[in-house]
Amino acid sequence: MAIEAVRGDITKQEVDAIVNAANQALAGGGGVDGAIHRAAGMAQLRAACDALGGCPTGEAKATPGFNLRAQWIIHAVGPRWRGGGHGEAELLASCYRRSLVVAAELGARSIAFPAISTGVYGYPAADAAAVAISTVRSVLASTPLGIELVRLVAFGDATYQLYLELLADP
């Protein structure tokens, strides 16, 4: 199993599943969420998300990938940053953990994550990257999920550099 960082567009990743940084309504907002909805096919993905009935913070639910290269989209709802004293780290870790479990249940062997909660939800990028990498490492080391590749996709260079630094430190 491998964990790698890339700089790029999550909608173009050639993996079995991509993770969407979703809102609780799974309504296709801005940022990563809007980009995934547009690339997958707005009407189809909206109908599939509506059928799921929303998703609580810290959880993850799946839909087909529709027009994406990925077969599935796993919608994970990250926490809004409120200073760090309101369980944000635990909720963010839960997003990564639940996404990996959902991916494994679908039979995915590769998955790509965006930097969940770091956009409009305001989570500090360095803290979010640390939670992402420590959670993914912990889950993959402790649970036989059958996932062979976890790709952390950074839209910007600063997040990409954070991932590289953290991945270099075992």
**DSSP secondary structure code for residue 81 in this structure:** P
Q: Is 9 helix (H, G, I), strand (E, B) or coil?
A: coil
Q: Indicate the average pLDDT of the chain.
A: 96
* pTM of the entire predicted model: 0.96
Angle between helices 88-106 and 125-142 (to 10 degrees): 40
Q: 46-101, pLDDT tens digit by residue?
A: 999 999 999 999 999 999 999 999 999 999 999 999 999 999 999 999 999 999 99
Q: What is the pLDDT of residues 11-41, one digit of tens each?
A: 999 999 999 999 999 998 889 999 999 999 9
Angle, vertex CA 32, rays to CA 44 and CA 19, nearest 5? 75
pLDDT, one tens digit per residue, over 139-167 is 999 988 999 999 999 999 999 999 999 99
Q: What is the pLDDT of residue 127?
A: 97
Give the whole-angstrom CA distance, residue 105 versus residue 69. Answer: 19
Give long-range contacts, CB 8 A cutoff, 24+ apart: 52-59: 52/26, 54/24, 54/25, 54/26, 55/22, 55/24, 55/26, 56/24, 57/24, 57/91, 58/90, 58/91, 58/92, 58/94, 58/95, 58/98, 59/94, 59/95, 59/98
Q: Give the C-alpha distances (Å, rounded to integers) separating 87 from 14, 76, 83.
A: 33, 16, 10
Domains and CATH numbers, the chain: 2-168 (3.40.220.10)
Higher pLDDT, 169 or 46: 46
Residue 164: per-residue pLDDT: 97
Catalytic residues: 33
